[in-house]
Structure 1
Amino acid sequence: MSTIKRAFSLLLFLLVVLSCSQSIDENDDQIKILFIGNSYTYFNSSPELVKALIQEKFPDQIVETQLISGGGMSLADHWQNEATIQTIRTGDWDYVVLQEQSKLGMAVMIDNDIFFGQTERFYEYARKFDAEITKADSKTVFLMTWSVRDKPQEQAILTHAYTSIAKELKAKLVPVGLVWDELRTNPKIELYADDGGHPSPLGSYLSAVTLYSALMADDPLGLSGNISGHPLSSTGEPSADRDLLIDIPNEEAKLIQEASWKVVHALQDSNDYPDIDQPEPGFSIPVLSKGEPMELKNMIGKWYGTSTYGSDYLGQIMEIKAIDGKPQASLSFYSAHVQDQMRVDNAVIKDDQLILTLYDSLRTLNSTVRISLSGGKMEGILESSGNLQMYKHLYFSKESSPNEIDLSEIELLMESYQSNILKEGYIKASLEHYEQYSKLIGEPYKPDEFYLNAVGYNFLREDKVKDALNAFELAMVYYPMSVNAYDSYAEALIVDGRTDEALEVYTRAYELAKKTGYENLAYIEENLNKLKNNIAVDLEGEATPPPPPPPSQ
């Protein structure tokens, strides 16, 4: 080969190499991150914070983020949404950040205490998502969440769960929960919102800084705590306008940055995963006491009792009949506002237990109750499953006043309430009912706003718009300073096609939100502007959770 040809070949080779290098550099100038989570991620618009931090340190970096979220959503919930899977497949993401529901997608409630530690469902859907993410040539990232304020000991369960699945899948682990533990007791750093679970602005900043540290492998010291961006809705939709998202004082920002880098850097030195033993679960499944031999003839009649089914329930009444020699049962739980009558699909006596198969329409739960008989009294355990594995103790006797309140009187009061609704209308009948109920229990009582709001949205989901409007209107009567009550009522009016009235109510909600410093003012303003411009409003309802305390996000 001649010298000229060799020189030309070498030049051509160098041009190809340079061309390829330039293409790689261009790709490196852009980073795309998809977040899949719930309120722990959308509070304070956390993805926007991450984006701002990266762009502050690397101003030439083009950063694109997207959030897919919903209140209380687990990875199992997200998996059911085909649009989410398509977003992973077609988005050309560098990272897909997965944040599981705060109780790892499957909590256990025993009486009124909530525990977690069952990781099977979390792992199952983490593996499914990772397979899709890997096929899309993206990198799976797990955002390790934090334990609630009053149960710091549960962080070990979260840490072990996230570490185990990240290590198994060779995914990146963002140790937000470990950084949270570093600062949890620092009096200068309040990481929690008022509910003791969701992140405060400082908590969201900690999460964002830790994501920055882990994804960029860079010390965050010196980054700003004053961040503006596009506020995100609960479903991840960005607002059209930029606004101040958080304003963290320099001292607090520095403490968070130092703690974040300390934890992330230590993990980098130990192959990216903490070394942690599997913790013992903090609960044991209740077992029904063995009772006497059961005979149907000894069980017929009304049985009155108490339970841990819900904190606001006074008790329950079970009626057993004999039909063709077989048991037939009805079961109702009584509270101030509802006779929560369970549908008993089946009743059978087996192995000296009365076994009832129930359907709770209020919470759309299928449940099983096992009851034993001893000394003329009954003991039962109600078990139901869903996103929450629930166990509740029930106790029955033939006395109608098991809890210093005569349940037979409550039964009559509830019957008159239902008839008065038909005669007088829902609002008037409800106000009279709760006044009579207060006299019966000897103290003032009004229905909880959360309950009325949740019942209203359940009615909307069942297309019972009139009933939903009634529930929301009653919430406005009892809670006239609640922005959420007006917001919910306006959304029901929209569903009912009464947009002019909805606009009036949203205007009142907006003025009240400004007056009271409502934290979701931007959301109210956005919906108000949409109504003014005849744009469809996003409806953000809440389904009624299992009995209190409600699960965290």
Structure 2
Amino acid sequence: MHSHLSRGPRATTPCGVTRAFVALLAMATLLLSPTASAQQPVAPAPAVEVAHAPLRILWIGNSYSFYNDLPRTLTMMAMAAGENRVPAITAALVPGEFLRGHVLRGDVVRALEQQRWDYVVLQDNSLGPIQLPDSTVKYGTVLGTLAKKAGATVLLYVTWPRQATPQTAPVLVATYSRLADAIGATLVPVGPAWMAMREESPSSVLYMEDGSHPTPIGSYVAASVFYRVLYNKPAAGLLPHTFKTTDNRYQRTAPPNMVPPFTVPVAEAAAAHRAAERATRSAPQTRRELR
């Protein structure tokens, strides 16, 4: 069963996204539509010790993670591959948030201090590493240090540049590489994989109309990179994912009969797998083995 932790009603984005939440993705119900549940704080849990226990992941980020439900996509990909250890993800995702805001909010700090994790994903605001790189490194170091004390490997979600400013892609990689060096973290080079995807499948549309957020195909590329880093093997051969946008726990869109499911075409899925492989092979600080 999954639950939601929020701070009460807030103003929403044009897509109707709630302003703050923490969602627990539980393996047993990942393939079911989400249901309403009582809001409760995240309770401490014992450390993972069993060989086939789920991978406990705390995912800290914003809309680049919750659009198209990237955490669930990664989990479904692992389930489809028959992995022994499937992600069980607790997601702290706030629209437009910076790592600084996550630190000041305190929810993720308490989760890091009170629980054990296998992995912690850190994702800053998409402009943070470009405009405020020192802040990215400073607050990423705060969260990364706490994550390592909680027994976790830190994964840095390297995002893509805005569609109008592709020249900022190297700056994003450079800032996250600085943070990786500072805390001994692993890069998850999603942004470089997007750049590779433009060569593998030039007709693929990765950006939404706003020139910033990912389409389902863009999120599928991201999930392919996370899968490659977590499991030390390509996502090649896995079936394309069907996105049911109305099942997204983090957004409230149109009624189900108005938003049909979207399935990534087979050719684009294969291109996404190749792009993920290219990016992870060429990016620095990309860990190769699953702990």
Q: Quote the offset at 1:271 in angstroms.
A: 5.4
The answer to whether the Cα contact below 8 Å between 2:220 and 2:241 also exists between their aligned partners in 1 is: no
Partner of 1:170: 184
Correspondence for 1:159 among 131, 152, 173: 173
Partner of 2:276: 260
Superposition map of 1:430-449 within 5 A? none
Q: Quote the offset at 1:163 in angstroms.
A: 1.3
Q: Quote the offset at 1:99 in angstroms.
A: 0.6
Correspondence for 1:202 among 214, 217, 241: 217
The answer to whether the Cα contact below 8 Å between 1:35 and 1:98 also exists between their aligned partners in 2 is: yes
Does 2:155 align with 1:118? no
What secondary structure does 2:128 align onto?
A: coil
Partner of 2:28: none
Partner of 1:232: 249
The answer to whether the Cα contact below 8 Å between 2:61 and 2:94 also exists between their aligned partners in 1 is: yes
Correspondence for 2:198 among 184, 190, 195: 184
Partner of 1:251: 267
Q: Quote the offset at 1:261 in angstroms.
A: 1.1
Partner of 2:89: 65
Q: Deviations over 1:287-340 (max 9, x none)?
A: xxxxxxxxxxxxxxxxxxxxxxxxxxxxxxxxxxxxxxxxxxxxxxxxxxxxxx
Question: CA RMSD for the aligned pairs?
Answer: 2.5
Partner of 1:51: 75
Q: Quote the offset at 1:228 in angstroms.
A: 6.0
What is the TM-score when the length of structure 2 is the normalising length? 0.73
The answer to whether the Cα contact below 8 Å between 1:69 and 1:234 also exists between their aligned partners in 2 is: no
Distance 1:172 1:271 in 2: 5
Residues 203 and 26 of structure 1, relative CA distance in 2, 3 Å threshold: same
Partner of 2:148: 134
Distance 2:275 2:210 in 1: 24
Q: What amino acid maps onto 1:147 in structure 2?
A: P
The answer to whether the Cα contact below 8 Å between 1:225 and 1:246 also exists between their aligned partners in 2 is: no
The answer to whether the Cα contact below 8 Å between 2:78 and 2:86 also exists between their aligned partners in 1 is: no
RCO comparison, higher one (Cα < 8 Å, 6+):
2
Q: Quote the offset at 1:54 in angstroms.
A: 1.1
Q: What amino acid maps onto 1:174 in structure 2?
A: V
User: Which segments of 5 or more consecutive residues in structure 1 lack a partner in the other structure?
Assistant: 1-23, 106-115, 236-242, 274-553
Superposition map of 1:51-450 within 5 A? 51-104=75-128, 116-184=130-198, 186-227=201-242, 231-233=248-250, 246-267=262-283, 272=286
What secondary structure does 2:156 align onto?
A: strand
User: Which segments of 5 or more consecutive residues in structure 2 lack a partner in the other structure?
Assistant: 1-47, 253-258
What secondary structure does 2:143 align onto?
A: helix
The answer to whether the Cα contact below 8 Å between 1:117 and 1:157 also exists between their aligned partners in 2 is: no
Q: Which has the higher strand share?
A: 1
> Percent identity, aligned pairs only?
25
Q: Quote the offset at 1:25 in angstroms.
A: 7.7
The answer to whether the Cα contact below 8 Å between 2:156 and 2:176 also exists between their aligned partners in 1 is: yes
What secondary structure does 2:154 align onto?
A: strand
Distance 2:260 2:73 in 1: 11
The answer to whether the Cα contact below 8 Å between 2:63 and 2:213 also exists between their aligned partners in 1 is: yes
Q: What amino acid maps onto 1:40 in structure 2?
A: Y
Residues 123 and 25 of structure 1, relative CA distance in 2, 3 Å threshold: closer
Q: Quote the offset at 1:136 in angstroms.
A: 0.8
Q: Deviations over 1:459-497 (max 9, x none)?
A: xxxxxxxxxxxxxxxxxxxxxxxxxxxxxxxxxxxxxxx
The answer to whether the Cα contact below 8 Å between 1:71 and 1:234 also exists between their aligned partners in 2 is: no
Q: Could you say which structure has the larger radius of gyration? A: 1
The answer to whether the Cα contact below 8 Å between 1:193 and 1:200 also exists between their aligned partners in 2 is: yes
Distance 1:160 1:174 in 2: 13
Partner of 2:3: none
What secondary structure does 2:96 align onto?
A: coil
